[in-house]
Amino acid sequence: MGKSQSTEVPSQDEHNEYDTPWRNTPWGENELLEKKLKELKLSDPNTKYVRILVIGAIGAGKSSFINSVNSVFQRRITNEALINKTSDSRTFTKLYKTYYIRNGQSGQILPFVLSDTMGLESEDLHGVHPKDIVKAMEGCIKERYKFNPSCPISSQDEGYRSNPTLQDQTYCLVFVLAGDSISRMNEAVIEKMKYIRNKANELEIPQAVVMTRVDEACPLVKENLRNIYKSKKIQEKLEKCSELTGVSLSQVFPVKSYHKEIDTQEDIDVLILRAFADIVQVANDALEIKSMIEKTNE
């Protein structure tokens, strides 16, 4: 009798995994990536830092991403940007706030800052008003301004800045999207993001997307973070992020933010540093263009 032929069926994970990564990642090069960011020289010597504005729907992980960037440079878990872990479905961030990133060794403030905003919500009278995001990009909103979901800021409000400097303006707009719920995003929130993106384009502000919760979005990545660019599922979700926001796929970055860890981890840090390095470089390029325009108009 002949031997029976095996008809082994590939596992679901095998169908969802490429043999080789579809994007290169500098695993193990944390210190080099961090060093380059710490030694960054801004294109305008009269500006202390480039401002990066972080926006997203509630629960997408804006504040967690900001904390994670800070944690990488501090080399310890930080929670300066407060996070809501209750069952409340409303946005937790109420104020416009700037987060300064420090060199963990020297304590020196680094030449880039992250600005956090109230989250986008589907209902018109809840969450940040899209026009407030536009004013924040222009540099017209002062620190710790309390957002009013029902009424955007006006020049009559105390928190309005009439003459923003280069330092007040935004040089990169970052959309934060949750990878495990990207396919279920509310249509009203998507429309608000499109409005904001169109206004950013008018202001010639570059954009990037940070896709969080990659470990919850794909079992392969949850098992091993280094599978992130072998995962077909992650690739599909990044393409969806690009489609929803209109941001080029090359500027869409998957990351795992710190949320349950008590110590920083090299592989998590690499993904955050790789994304952040690109965002900062794009912002610095935008600063150079704006500073040249201002000098020309003087």
The per-residue pLDDT for range 138-178, each reduced to its tens digit, is 999 999 999 999 999 999 999 999 999 999 999 999 999 99
pLDDT surpassing 90 at residue 124:
no
Percent of the chain's residues with pLDDT above 90: 82
> What is the residue extent of each domain of the chain?
40-297
* The predicted structure's pLDDT at residue 91: 53
What is 40-297's CATH topology?
Answer: Rossmann fold (3.40.50)
Mean pLDDT score across all residues of the chain: 91
Single-letter code of the amino acid located at 52: I
